[in-house]
C-alpha cells in the first residue's frame, strides 16, 4: 500500500458527506457571522489590557487576556478556513470565555478594578455565547 494515497477511512462515504455538511454549515451566513464575531472578540480580548489600561497590579490578568484572546482568534481563523477539520475543538471556545469571566477574581483576587472586571465579564460572556453558537452550528443546519 502506498503511503501517498489517502487511507480507506478518508474515502468513506459517511466521512465525505459529514465533511461536506460541516463545510456547508460553515459557509452559511450564520456560520460566517459567528466566525467573524469570534475572531473580533478574540482580538479585542488580546488588546483589552491596553484599551482598558489595566493597572500594574493586574499584569497576570493582562498576559492571560493576551494569550486567551490570541487563542480564540486563532481558533476562529481555523473555523473559517477549515471547519470540517476543526469543528471538534469548537467546545474549547466557551471554556475560554468562561475562564475570561472568572480570571480577574481567581488571579488577582481583591485587587480587581471595575474596568478590568467589566471588560472581562462582558467579552467573556460574548465569547461563551459565540462558542456555543459555533458548537451548535451543525445542529442548526440539520433538518
Average pLDDT value for the chain: 79
Mean pLDDT of 36-55: 90
Is pLDDT at 37 greater than 90 in this prediction?
Answer: yes
Cell 465579564 sits on residue: 121
Task: Please name which of 104, 118, 95, 92 lies closest in space to residue 63, comparing C-alpha atoms.
Answer: 104
% of the chain exceeding 90 in pLDDT: 34
CA atoms of 10 and 132, how far apart (whole Å): 28
Q: What is the pLDDT of residues 67-125, one digit of tens each?
A: 999 999 999 988 877 765 666 788 899 999 999 999 988 886 656 678 888 999 999 99
Amino acid at each position: 500500500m502506498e503511503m501517498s494515497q489517502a487511507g480507506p477511512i478518508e474515502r468513506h462515504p459517511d466521512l465525505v458527506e459529514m465533511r461536506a455538511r460541516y463545510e456547508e454549515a460553515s459557509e452559511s451566513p450564520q456560520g460566517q457571522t459567528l466566525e467573524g464575531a469570534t475572531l473580533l472578540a478574540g482580538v479585542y480580548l488580546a488588546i483589552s489590557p491596553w484599551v482598558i489600561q489595566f493597572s500594574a497590579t493586574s499584569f497576570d490578568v493582562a498576559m492571560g487576556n493576551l494569550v486567551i484572546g490570541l487563542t480564540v482568534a486563532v481558533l476562529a481563523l481555523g473555523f473559517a478556513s477549515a471547519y470540517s477539520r476543526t469543528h471538534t475543538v469548537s467546545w474549547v471556545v466557551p471554556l475560554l470565555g468562561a475562564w475570561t469571566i472568572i480570571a480577574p477574581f481567581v488571579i488577582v483576587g481583591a485587587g480587581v478594578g471595575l474596568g478590568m472586571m467589566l471588560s472581562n465579564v462582558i467579552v467573556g460572556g460574548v465569547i461563551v455565547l459565540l462558542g456555543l453558537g459555533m458548537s451548535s452550528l451543525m445542529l442548526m443546519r440539520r433538518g
